[in-house]
Structure 1
Amino acid sequence: MQTLGTAAATGAKRADARKNIAAIIEAATVSLAKDPNVSVNDIAKAAGVGRVTLYGHFDSRAALIREVVNRAIDDTDRELNDLDLEGDPREAIARLLEATWRLTHRYGSLVVAAEAALPPDDIHDAHVQPIIRMRGLIERGQASGAFRSDLPIAWLIEVAHSTVHGAADALHRGDITEAQAPALITDTVLAVLTPSR
């Protein structure tokens, strides 16, 4: 039979566990964004917990990365779902690209860590919703004549996706600045999407 004392102790343990999990995920998100090869020891240290505690909640580095990626996807979907994609397709895609860049930059090298630690199907699943969103906008732009329709839509999406990730790599190398990136991405993708006259 559980007494008031043991119930309080159990509640405190659960609260501690939730606090530890939140600290681990936050530390992993920040650490992996900076260094995709960061060790579990360094993540635990940044979270203020021991390695044993971390492994008590996540049985492997891959399991921790999967949780961080899932949370990043949820956060990204929430932000992009709230984005106004109505009106002129060129202006709408500029807003989408800028928001996508901001989120990509926020999570930095997490993408690299995910690609190294997770199965290809998991990586593919992470991109499904962004692809659907981009496809719908490009199709609307093609229907209105704002975007070219002489190239496969899958290729146009790939160019947009690659441009955002290429900007992240260029920023990391020091080839461009954080301030330059949004305009460079938007100008590059719109140049590809614009029909030749």
Structure 2
Amino acid sequence: MAVDRDHVLRSAAALLTRKSTATMDEVAKAAGISRATLHRHFAGRDALVRALEALGIAECETALDAARLEEGPAVDAVRRLVAEIESAAGLLAFLYTENQLFEGEEQNQGWTRIDDRVSALFRRGQLSGEFRIDLTPAWLTEALYGLLASAAWMVQCGKSAPRDFQHMIAELLLGGALRTPEPRHSAPSHSAPRHSAPRTEES
């Protein structure tokens, strides 16, 4: 019987986002196949993680395309991006913990492409006056990734309802990133102070 590699990958992703320490035996069981069959597709855990990385990058890029980052106000584009990427957030949260994916010369250039596109969105928002300019686009990008991972974890462990995912991220991120109008200082008053009339002694 032919094994659907995509099914195996998505089963592995669903398991590892809930239990990052799952063994290859557990992954095989989750996918409904034997350990030997899993090994024929992925020689070991590292090969499986690399395949999940490619899946995660592909899903991120699909979300970036669907969010139409170049259209309309940057604030609205950020909200669209959070909505589009929600389904992949759990997998991304798992991948962020796999340090070997982000070390050395073998780093997948897909992450750089994603970083560049998200950073460009925040830079656009700064140029349009929507976002603060004292926070770099690179920092806002990393903040978004961190919030995605944290919100995914909150939902998975039952500390937050799935319906709150987008609201939690967008409101916290934008609440800190939005540029607020400069406060208007009142002009100093030049009118003479009021004094009570001097008391005169009665004769």
TM-score range, shorter chain: 0.7 to 0.9
Q: CA deviation at 1:108?
A: 6.7
Whichever structure has more helix as a proportion of its residues is: 1
1:120 aligns with 2:103: yes
Between the aligned partners of 1:165 and 1:52, the Cα distance in structure 2 is 32
Max Rg structure: 2
Deviation at 1:78, TM superposition (A): 2.0
Q: Indicate how the Cα distance of structure 1 residues 46 and 167 shifts in structure 2: closer, same or farther if over 3 A, else same.
A: closer
* One-letter amino acid of the structure 2 residue matched with residue 184 of structure 1: M
Q: Does 1:156 align with 2:115?
A: no
Q: Which residue of 1 aligns with 2:89?
A: 104
TM-score (norm 1): 0.77
Q: Tell me, yes or no, if the aligned pair for 2:126 and 2:132 is still in contact at 8 Å.
A: yes
Unaligned runs of 5+ in 2: 182-203
Is 1:182 the counterpart of 2:160? The answer is no
Q: CA deviation at 1:171?
A: 2.7
Contact 2:130-2:179 within 8 A present in 1 as well = yes
Partner of 1:7: none
Q: Distance in 1 between matches of 2:94 and 2:143?
A: 21
SS in 1 for 2:127: helix
With structure 2 as the length reference, what TM-score do the two structures score?
0.75
- How large is the Cα RMSD of the aligned pairs? 2.6
Contact 2:63 2:81 in 1 (8 A): no
Contiguous gaps of at least 5 residues in structure 1 = 1-14
Residues 132 and 45 from structure 1, CA distance in 2 versus in 1: closer, same or farther, beyond 3 angstroms? same
Q: 1:117 to 1:39 in 2, by over 3 A?
A: farther
Amino acid at match of 2:8: I
- Calculate percent identity across the aligned residue pairs: 26
Higher RCO structure (Cα 8 Å, ≥6 apart): 1
Aligned residues: 179
